[in-house]
Every structure is written in C-alpha cells, then in structure tokens.
Structure 1
C-alpha cells in the first residue's frame, strides 16, 4: 500500500503542476489571440481605407476626364477640378474630411490621360508589432480623355406605321426620346467651339431636302432619269456652249427649267438608272453612257406622288448643328405618314456625315457641313431607327411592290457597308418590330437589315443593335448609344 500511496502522491503533484502550466498556456494563447485580432482589425482598417481612397480618386479622375472630353473644363483646369472633387467627396467609406492628400496630378496632352497619385494617413486602432500609431495608404489611377469632336446623324422614322393608335403612340415616344437625345448630346458645350454636332434625317416615302433641294433634279414624266448633259439642248440654249457650265449656273438653269413640286428627294441614279450609292457631293462631275458630262444631282423620281402615303414628309433634313433649338423644334412638329423608304434615308444620313457635301450645305446657308475624315480627331456616328421593314425604292424598280422592298433592303445594306468603310460607327434601333401588323417574314427581314447595318460590337461599345418595344426602352437605347459614342471617341 505504501507503494501505491506514493504513486497517488506523485500523480497529485503532477496534476497540481499541470494546473499551473494550463494557466500559463492560457495566458499565452489569449495574448496571441488578442494580437491576432488586433492585427486583423488593422489589416481590415487599412484595406477599407485603401478601397475608399481608390474609389474617391477613381471618381475624381473619371469626372475630370469626362469634363475635359466634353469641353466643360480646359486642361489647365484639371488640377482644380480634381481637388474640388476630392474636397467634396473625401468622407467616402471610412475616410475623414481633409484626410486625402493629393500628391501628384499629371495631364499628358500627348497620350490624353489624367493621372492622380494620392494618400491618406490612417490612425490604427491597435498599434502593435512595432507599428506606429498611423500608417500611410497610397493609391493611383489614370483615365483617358479626348479632344475629338463628334458628328452624329440620326435617321428618324416618321412613316405611317408610327402614327398613334389607341394607347400606343410611337411617334410621341420617338419625339420624346429623340429630343432627350439631342439635349443630352448638346448640353454643356461652348457654343462658339462645340465638340458635338447633330444632324437629323426624318423620312417616310422620301426625304425632304429643305434648302438642299436646289441640288435635286426633279424628273418629269417621260424625261431622262439623268440631269441635263453638256451639249444637250437645254444647256446649249442657255449658255451657247457645248461645255458643262459652272455648278451654280447649272443648278440655276436646271431648277428653272424643271421646277420642283416639293423639296423631296429619292435616290440619286447612275447612268444605268440604278441607285448611285456613293456619298459624292452634287457638284461631282459624272458622264452618261455616251461620255457626256453632267453634275451628280440627286433625283426626285417622277413616281413619287404628292399625296396620300406616297408623299413627301413635311419635316426637313437638318445638317450638322450644335443649335439644339432648330432640332427640337423640328422634332416637335413630326407627323407620322407615308411609306418606309429607309435606304433613301440612310443615303441622306451618309450625306450629312460626308465632307463631300460640305460645299452644298454651306452654299445653302445650313452650316459648315461635315469635317474631313480623321479618326484621331473626329468620331462620326450614325443612328438609324425604324419600326418596320424598308419597303419603298424608286431607282431600278421594275414596278412590283416586292421588288421595291428587296431593292430598298439591298441598297440599305450596301450603303451601311460603304459608311462603315468610311469610318462611320453605326448604331441601329428596331422599334416595336414585333408589331402584329407585320408578318413573321417582314419582322425577320427588318431585323436582318438593322443587324447587318450595325457596326460590330466591341469591348468598348458592347451593343450596336437595339430591339426595343416601348417608349421607355427607346429612350434608354438612345442614352446608351450616346454613352457608347463617348467611348468610341475615346478609343478609336
């Protein structure tokens, strides 16, 4: 028993020693846990400060780059712009007022970038492991800006199918969305040096050329489909020469001899009577099948009627302008009527963005026209909208309704290809293309043309074709296109 008693005593002593060891171990563990918790809190605090600082300077630089791009501020004002933004937003997240320090701002006029470096000093909750009471957190960001000008031509459908029917008011929806688009694009600009200019091309059975109608050849029944040629009886009688007169004399002579019943235009025709799908100006010299010269006036086909659905729309083409009032007033007066000559409208949209029409536009007192193509300085954008399939054409038509539609759609796709080859970015909108009044085939044809006409989607402009059903969706599509247009200006 004595041996067992010693064993019991030994075990008891060991247990007493173990109790002391547990206390020591617990104290050490608690200290480690406290340090770990404090370290974790500090790391979280620094992470949140870094995230907040990055968000603030990202927003400041993006805002400043956008203002530089849109012309709200000059490059010399960028520093003050960033500082003002930081002062107004430096309490984001866990940041405190006056905590953000702007270390450096660089405006690179060659690369067109704005770079900002900034820091905050964060007072740590748990200054441990030799950490001082404060740690510095830094962040940097860079954003692109652009001094490109932007030229936008909007092709707007005012055909009969857009008319109000019961509670559905497509023409009203178009007016509201187009006006909002114009106001968004043209706001905050220097009127003496606008960065963005907008043209509109309303269309139905044809396009009303307005003051540009002096460049239109009004066909008469039984007359040639080409404008008068040099050496022809009309020009010889007026000039006494077989040579082509100056362009100004030519349009004066032709206009007096063949007065317009209205200011409408259809397709320009080539020497074979087919649609001439170039963007050439009307003062371009052409030759007929016999080599006789004439100027490339745009045709007003004699089959275009003066009333009913086959009539000239009242709303006129308005070339590129930064004056929103003229555009808004025109849109306000839109009236839905007529067939859908979409290819003719696309061609006039092309004209509005073509520098080859600059002289004609200037001579008509309608502004300076489109700029020369220069991807580094100019972004050219076309927005095409329709609520149905293109069904009307004149040049080269054999007489049947189906041939008109096929020609119109084929011409539209060729024109869109030509525009894209000239560096024009094309966005298209199908408005209520699921209308029950159209057959499934018609809907498919309409969508196919719009998809084919639109530019390819990119990482910058992720969508170029929009299929919308309501006025709210139409307005949203216009606004997304405008945002994409700004991205195009930054990246092209």
Structure 2
C-alpha cells in the first residue's frame, strides 16, 4: 500500500506540541528536510527508470518497424500496429503499466525516410510531496531511418584448396553455413511480389565458372592471339565474306565454333597489350587492337588454366542477381574446396555481376534481368569479397614462369576494387583465418593489406574490413555487413 506524507506531517505537529524549546523546533525541521530529500530522490529515480524503460521499448518498436518497412515485410498501413505491438509488449516494465502506455503520434516521413513516434505513460509517484500531484506523465520520442531503395548484393566466396576440411578445421563447412545464413537474412523476409533485394554469387578458385555466360568467353589456345579475332581477320572474313565487324551474336557464334570451350571457366579479360583489363565493360563493347582493328571485348580463358587437379574450374557456377533463394542455397550446399586463389578474377566477376553493362549478356543467357542502372537515390550496389588466404594466381600480364603471379593478382584486385568504388559500389571484405600459421608473416600481412585496400572507407559505426578467425566470427561478419546494408540507425 502506498503511503503519503500526510501522516508524517501529523506526527511532526504532535512532536512540536509535546516538546518545547529550540531543540524540538530544530529537530522537526531536520526531520522534515530529510523526509523531503528522501522522497524527492525516490520519485526522481522512479521517473528516470520509467523514462529509460519506455524509451528503450519505443526505440525497439520504431527500429523494428523501420526494418520491416525497409525489407517489405509489412506495408506502411501496418506501421502503427507494429509499433504498438512492440511498445506495449516491452514498455510495461519498472513502474510503468502496459495498460497506461499511450502511442501519442506516429509519422512515416517519405521525404526524410524516417519513422518517428512519441509515447507516454502516467505513473503514480511513490512519495507524493505535501499536496503535490501524486502522478507524473512521462513522454519520450524516438525515430529511425528506413529505406525504399532496391539493393543488389554480389558475394565473392572462396572455394580454394585451403578451405578444405581438415582434422582440426572445416572452413568450407563454416562458409556454407555463413553464406546460407546471409542469403536467408537478405531474402527471407521480403515481399515476394515486390522484392527489394537481389543477390549474386561468385564462387571462385583457380578461375570462375561462368556457366551459361560462357559464350561471352574467348577460349585461347597455345597458338592463338591474346585477343579475340579482329575485323578483317581470316576467320571472320571466311565466315562472313566481309572485312567489317559482324553483329555481336554472329561474332560470338563464330568465335565459339573456332575456339571451343573445354569447360565454362574464365580468367581475366585482356587488353590490347595482354594485361588484365579492370573495367566493367560488357562483352559487346567494341575495342581496337594495337593496329586499330575492332573486336568485341570478350573475356579470356587463358590456355595456361589446364583444367585439371588444383588448376581447374570450380564446379559451382556464378549466379547472377536473383531473388531465387532456393537456387542460391542449392549452390551453396554443393560448395567443394579445391584449387588456387585467383582472387582478382573473382573480384572482376563480382564487378560484372553489379554492372548494368553486363545486363544484356545476362538476359541473353536466360539468367535473369541483370543489374539495374546506377541510381544512388534508388539503388544500393554492394560487393562482399571473402577469402581465406593470399591471392596467388593470375594469368594476364605475368611472366612465363609465373613467379610474379601473387604480386600481379593483388595489384589487379586493388585496381578493380578502385574502379568499383568509383562506380558507387560499396565494398566490404572478409578475411577468414588470415592468421593461419601455414602462411608466412609476410603472406598474412599481404593478404590483409589487399582486403583493407579493397574495402570502402569506414564510416561512424560502420566498418568495411572484417578479420574473422572462426566460423562463428565469419557468420557474424556477414550478418553485421547485412545489418549495415539496411542502414538502420536511430536519429534521436
């Protein structure tokens, strides 16, 4: 039962009547002051605790509602119902009673992309002070950002031999679990009739298995040029009767027939000088060789990729942007570890999967609608680059003994990452078990350096390079990146 100060006042009056002298008066004054101080302190603590609990509940309600609006899990009409459900469930703690909590206002601002809510509760004070109000209204306001942007995410995933299961570790198993959870988090809660997020996979090892996109790949031979056939070449003239460059579809058919593919693998695209090309140009881009003759910018499959043992194409294929969760998860389930670490080639194909210049090629291959045009106000493009070791394999622009492959691969990766970032793609990187003692200290430092240099600059509360030592940390890194992509933060 709550007690007021009325009784205390009467006791003080009797004390004064029954005692005489200054001592009695001073004692009464001291007791009154003490009682007032204690009561005020208790009331203040009660209000502070109640306000803190109510604000925490409202923060959770607003943030959760903003996330649901962002992912499309709820329509805007359900925002108030969602806020109330969280608020009333979590707000009735401490001295607040859930049935006395009120959602006073809720504003979904389409311009600022915010959800703002004000809530209040009336609480009965433990110590009403000499006729003062015995209740107090506490009001709090919270806001969170939401987004109606579309999101395109391409995940580069390491399937190289060092990821294989051993007596002590199961890194490929850790990757399967982390990648599965990432896909489910990104695609699991969105509105299937109006999906907001699309995901691409770029598994890699000694090269990249491009699947149905293979007709955009030029399969070199030991005796062929580094570049696809140019206009006026014997091959094209014999097939078309013209020295002009044929239509792209015709060109691809002629090249594929003359240079058949032994697999669906791709390495770097080469420029006119035989070095790796760092652009995201589509394969139908017309280029010229050193003599000014035009050709189409097909991606190369270097003849030094033998296709056997460690130097072969991974079985897992590139999957362009899709909302098909089952297709992505089926591919991840079949991940197997084998091969060298051609990281720059994987970075290159991650770039392609996010570039609208590859839209036609992807659509022509029957692999979906392809990437959308860049529009920072309406679309976020994100690359997640994951590896467990040092990039050590390259083909374009390396010497015959390939001793400089690692340096070339790392330099190529950083150049491609720079181009991605310049094109508005946000780049996150994850190093997995990079402190593995099977690598030298120099190799470990170089591996981390590439990933740090590739990643986008950090922002307040948002990191872009993750150093994961265990499967749990790998899973956590993916989840943290996904949370960052949503861009949900409290603004008040």
TM-score (norm 2): 0.93
**What does residue 252 of structure 2 align with?**
251
**What does residue 62 of structure 1 align with?**
63
CA drift of 1:299 comes to 0.4
**What does residue 478 of structure 1 align with?**
478
Runs (5+) with no aligned partner, structure 2: 1-18
CA drift of 1:416 comes to 0.8
Flag the 1:489–1:259 CA change in 2: closer, same or farther, 3 A.
Answer: farther
Q: Distance in 2 between matches of 1:473 and 1:90?
A: 33
8 Å Cα contact 1:379-1:488 kept in structure 2: no
Q: Distance in 2 between matches of 1:371 and 1:94?
A: 52
8 Å Cα contact 1:156-1:385 kept in structure 2: yes
CA drift of 1:204 comes to 0.8
CA drift of 1:489 comes to 10
1:240-283: CA deviation from partner (whole Å, max 9, x where unpaired): 22221111111111111211010000000111111111001101
**What does residue 374 of structure 1 align with?**
375
1:337-370: CA deviation from partner (whole Å, max 9, x where unpaired): 1111100000000001111111111111111111
**What does residue 276 of structure 1 align with?**
277
1:289-325: CA deviation from partner (whole Å, max 9, x where unpaired): 1211111000001111021111111111011111111
8 Å Cα contact 1:146-1:489 kept in structure 2: no
Is residue 2:300 matched to residue 1:299?
yes
**What does residue 459 of structure 1 align with?**
460
Is residue 2:400 matched to residue 1:399?
yes
More divergent stretch after superposition (86-95 vs 137-146): 86-95
1:107 partner SS: strand
CA drift of 1:192 comes to 2.7
**What does residue 10 of structure 2 align with?**
none
CA drift of 1:35 comes to 2.2
Flag the 1:282–1:234 CA change in 2: closer, same or farther, 3 A.
Answer: same
1:141-188: CA deviation from partner (whole Å, max 9, x where unpaired): 111111112111111111111111212111111111111111111111
**What does residue 196 of structure 1 align with?**
197
Q: Distance in 1 between matches of 2:205 and 2:488?
A: 30
8 Å Cα contact 2:146-2:488 kept in structure 1: no
8 Å Cα contact 1:150-1:489 kept in structure 2: no
Q: Distance in 1 between matches of 2:171 and 2:91?
A: 46
**What does residue 4 of structure 1 align with?**
none
TM-score (norm 1): 0.93
More divergent stretch after superposition (27-36 vs 283-292): 27-36
Q: Distance in 2 between matches of 1:445 and 1:59?
A: 42
1:401 partner SS: coil
1:97-139: CA deviation from partner (whole Å, max 9, x where unpaired): 2111111111111111111112111222222254222222111
Query: What RMSD, in angstroms, separates the aligned Cα atoms of the two structures?
Result: 1.8
8 Å Cα contact 2:71-2:191 kept in structure 1: no
Flag the 1:254–1:489 CA change in 2: closer, same or farther, 3 A.
Answer: farther
Q: Distance in 1 between matches of 2:415 and 2:71?
A: 33
Q: Distance in 1 between matches of 2:52 and 2:467?
A: 38
8 Å Cα contact 1:343-1:412 kept in structure 2: yes
CA drift of 1:460 comes to 3.5
**What does residue 383 of structure 1 align with?**
384
Flag the 1:423–1:300 CA change in 2: closer, same or farther, 3 A.
Answer: same
Flag the 1:333–1:475 CA change in 2: closer, same or farther, 3 A.
Answer: same
**What does residue 6 of structure 2 align with?**
none
Give runs of aligned pairs for residues 16-55 of structure 1, distance below 5 A: 20-55=21-56
Give runs of aligned pairs for residues 88-487 of structure 1, distance below 5 A: 88-461=89-462, 463-487=463-487
CA drift of 1:215 comes to 0.4
8 Å Cα contact 1:460-1:488 kept in structure 2: no
8 Å Cα contact 2:145-2:487 kept in structure 1: no
CA drift of 1:488 comes to 8.1
**What does residue 8 of structure 2 align with?**
none
